[in-house]
Structure 1
Amino acid sequence: MPIDNRNNTAARAAMLARVGSVQQAAYARPIEYQEGRAHGLKAIEVKNGPLRFMSMADRALDVAQIEYRGENLTFLSKPGLNGRNQFDTNGLEAQRSIMGGLFFTCGFENICAPYVTPAGSKYPAGSYPMHGRIRTTPAEHVSSDARWTENGDYVLEVSGEMREAELFGENMVLRRRITSVYGTPSITVEDEVINESFRDEPLMWMYHCNFGWPLLDEGAEVVIPSLKATPRDETTAADDTPWSEIGAPVENRPESVYLHELAADADGHSFAGVVNRKLGLGVVIDFAAADFPYFMEWKSMGAGDYVVGLEPSNSSVLGRGWHEERGDLHTIAPQTSERKTVAFTVIEGETAIDALTARRDALVGKA
């Protein structure tokens, strides 16, 4: 078991007495993949005791693979890990480079379906690929660190910045910091987006969080303090299984997508998670509800595409065109910035899972 070093400087000495190198238990280590579609892909491997994850330096520092006690928690799509490739910005062909993972960042000019600005629009002409361009943007100024703090924490950290820019177009910078504290099975992602152009720019911003087998399996449950779940389309409306229930994979079953209205606590915080009582594990996403006025659930029970996506967002899954027609496309002013934070925590055991469902019930009951 990891030594609990939180707020205890004596734990540092206790741990160092038991190891030759701290890297027996925790490290942040640059790596590079050597074959297949991932050839040349640079990443940071982070180990925090039983928690292990990869931050993709060549893909916006998004967290692709994550494991807890050797169990995979997330979905990896059929193409597998991808490095830099030609499928970055070509409409629906983006599906050939969407890997899944704990999260990939969607935006900033578009999320969800590809979109082409129609003739006569007040917005500049443009062709916007599925889920935008930022997710395939390589990071610059990449840094990884592992260090003791004054209060006895051993902090693992990855940071860098990504730029989405075009001649005569946008100039958006995403500055990202990912931290994890030894002894705590949690990852915190702190992001800042800066508009370095001299005009208002669209800022559609979504975290596409993807959970897969063995965490996702028959009998697992999606835990969301949902006040209302609206089907995206007729296919979803015809799905007679509850949005919260996970069944076995079914050949060629179509995806279902729900738009949720979430309850929040007195401090404005909300959450979403997936739990598997048989496995005794779950993953919870925590965030400020005001940062994400939209929340979507992507439920794909198809064999080979077996995944649940939980998607806190500042824009709707209905897409850029929907917002343009409504006149409420979210924009950011020149030379200003916006910040968002999301935290991912692994929970373990029946008591922790019960506490999460009780948290959901309390929020829904108070709304």
Structure 2
Amino acid sequence: MAEAKTWVLTDQATRVWVDSIEIGPDDLGLADEGWSIRKTTLRGGPSDGVDIIEVDNGALSFSVLPTRGMGIWKGAYKGLDLAWNSPVKGPVHPSLIDLQDRGGLGWLAGFNEVVVRCGLDSMGAPGTDVVPNNMGVPSEVALTLHGKIANTPASRVEIQVIPGDPTELVVIGEVHEAGLFCPQYRLLARASTKVGSNSLLIEDEVRNEKAIDAEMELLYHCNFGAPFLEEGARLEVAAREVAPRDARAAEGLQAYETYAGPTVGYVEQAYWYDLLAGKDGKTLAMLRNAAADKGVVLRFDKDELPAFTQWKNTASIADGYVTGLEPATDYPNSKAFERQQGRLMKIGPGETRRATLAIEVLDGAASVAATQGEIANLQQTAERQVHSAPISKYSDL
């Protein structure tokens, strides 16, 4: 078997930066056909200077944004779009994002990806926290919506082709969220797919580079629109417990698993889940369309990502018709509240935490039914408790 081939596209330490490259099977003498990896840099408008790596395995394609924290911008599988119609058009360069804007909601001015990492020092709602300042004195600081990692460019990026049956296509990026007298995290993000497959695998490592303990939060904001989201679409999960985030979410509790069509004036709703997992710790969530012949599935380890949030924003198409499926280390409340609940992930000096997230696209009734059966079997292991109102364990009342 031929050895893996690696191309370094960005390395801040050695001043390497490759403007563009395209690789296919002919370049390596491989028998696989129809796949490619292509790197370019976008020019013009708010996207100016954003690096994009487009991976196509012959059936599934997706675009990685190293300039935006290694997020996944959009993708497609056999004509089914992995995307949503955000009011934000095209990737936005982080230099144009003011995270403090609109009371800490500036993150939304760049929000249009399919998969966005939120964290690492904080994620969730804007708020305040108390941390030691440069003099070691406890001081109040403002934390913005969903943290900084999605607006932090990768300092090192490489692509790999690993020959095999089938060949594996890989994008790896290293992102540092750090500052003097601040937390110091290193995210090593790996996105891969195999030629001809219907799935994308995200494998992340977060290392505490500081010489003292750290608290880390990480949420995968996975966002989908049509053709999976439509009137009558459903979220399928096996859950031990479900609770509305707030009074607004409680209004829609009778239909929390189903989705409305685009609705002018709709106000977002969110629900907290404690998912069930198998004996191996694995769990899954599926968004499927009304006809149950198209779906997108998230698979992850509940030990790594114990919290799950469903975000419903079935607003008009112009205003962003989208749902978010969000596995995470904890729930996207304020960091102070999550600390009170004992859910913040602790990382010792030099320690690493790992998270793996697989995304599968289903394009037929049989595969959707099989996944629904898998979820139903898991649900049989425990009765689901659905709370009629927000509860103090999950929401800061």
Q: TM-score, normalised by structure 2?
A: 0.82
Contact 1:28 1:145 in 2 (8 A): no
Q: Are positions 1:43 and 2:69 aligned together?
A: no
* 1:252 aligned residue: 265
* 2:88 aligned residue: 79
Taking the aligned partners of 1:184 and 1:325, their CA distance within structure 2 comes to 43
* 1:34 aligned residue: 43
Q: Which amino acid aligns with 2:146?
A: H
Taking the aligned partners of 1:58 and 1:306, their CA distance within structure 2 comes to 25
* 1:169-212: CA deviation from partner (whole Å, max 9, x where unpaired): 11110011111001211111111011111111220111111111
Taking the aligned partners of 1:168 and 1:48, their CA distance within structure 2 comes to 43
Taking the aligned partners of 1:279 and 1:230, their CA distance within structure 2 comes to 25
Taking the aligned partners of 2:279 and 2:333, their CA distance within structure 1 comes to 29
Q: Which of 184, 208, 218 in structure 1 is aligned with 2:221?
A: 208
The answer to which of 356-365 and 122-131 deviates more is: 122-131
Contact 1:178 1:187 in 2 (8 A): yes
Taking the aligned partners of 1:120 and 1:285, their CA distance within structure 2 comes to 38
* 1:31-85: CA deviation from partner (whole Å, max 9, x where unpaired): 2222322122101100011211100010111111011122212224211221223
* 2:352 aligned residue: 337
Taking the aligned partners of 1:327 and 1:60, their CA distance within structure 2 comes to 27
Q: Which of 342, 345, 348 in structure 1 is aligned with 2:363?
A: 348
Give the % identical residues: 29
Instruction: Indicate how the Cα distance of structure 1 residues 23 and 128 shifts in structure 2: closer, same or farther if over 3 A, else same.
Output: farther
Q: TM-score, normalised by structure 1?
A: 0.88
Instruction: Indicate how the Cα distance of structure 1 residues 225 and 328 shifts in structure 2: closer, same or farther if over 3 A, else same.
Output: closer
Instruction: Indicate how the Cα distance of structure 1 residues 165 and 359 shifts in structure 2: closer, same or farther if over 3 A, else same.
Output: same
Taking the aligned partners of 1:233 and 1:279, their CA distance within structure 2 comes to 30
Instruction: Indicate how the Cα distance of structure 1 residues 312 and 39 shifts in structure 2: closer, same or farther if over 3 A, else same.
Output: same
* 2:121 aligned residue: 109
> SS of the residue aligned with 2:379?
helix
Taking the aligned partners of 1:328 and 1:182, their CA distance within structure 2 comes to 38
Q: Which amino acid aligns with 2:93?
A: G
Q: Which of 97, 106, 115 in structure 2 is aligned with 1:93?
A: 106
Q: Are positions 1:238 and 2:247 aligned together?
A: no
Report the CA distance between 1:224 and its aligned residue.
1.2
* 1:65-118: CA deviation from partner (whole Å, max 9, x where unpaired): 01112221222421122122332532112211122x221001112111112225
> SS of the residue aligned with 1:209?
strand
Structure 1 segment 183-332 matched on structure 2, within 5 A = 183-276=196-289, 278=291, 280-303=293-316, 304-326=319-341, 328-332=343-347
> SS of the residue aligned with 1:139?
coil
Which runs of 5 or more structure 2 residues have no equivalent in the other structure? 1-24, 383-397
Instruction: Indicate how the Cα distance of structure 1 residues 246 and 22 shifts in structure 2: closer, same or farther if over 3 A, else same.
Output: farther
Structure 1 segment 3-82 matched on structure 2, within 5 A = 25-80=34-89, 81-82=91-92
Q: Which amino acid aligns with 1:341?
A: T
Taking the aligned partners of 1:250 and 1:336, their CA distance within structure 2 comes to 46
Taking the aligned partners of 2:172 and 2:82, their CA distance within structure 1 comes to 23
The answer to which of 323-332 and 47-56 deviates more is: 323-332
> SS of the residue aligned with 2:94?
coil
> SS of the residue aligned with 1:311?
strand
Q: Count residues in correspondence.
A: 347
Taking the aligned partners of 2:55 and 2:139, their CA distance within structure 1 comes to 41
Q: Which amino acid aligns with 2:255?
A: P
Instruction: Indicate how the Cα distance of structure 1 residues 35 and 119 shifts in structure 2: closer, same or farther if over 3 A, else same.
Output: closer
Taking the aligned partners of 2:253 and 2:189, their CA distance within structure 1 comes to 40
Which runs of 5 or more structure 1 residues have no equivalent in the other structure? 1-15
> SS of the residue aligned with 2:371?
helix
Taking the aligned partners of 1:57 and 1:23, their CA distance within structure 2 comes to 26
**CA RMSD across the alignment:** 2.3
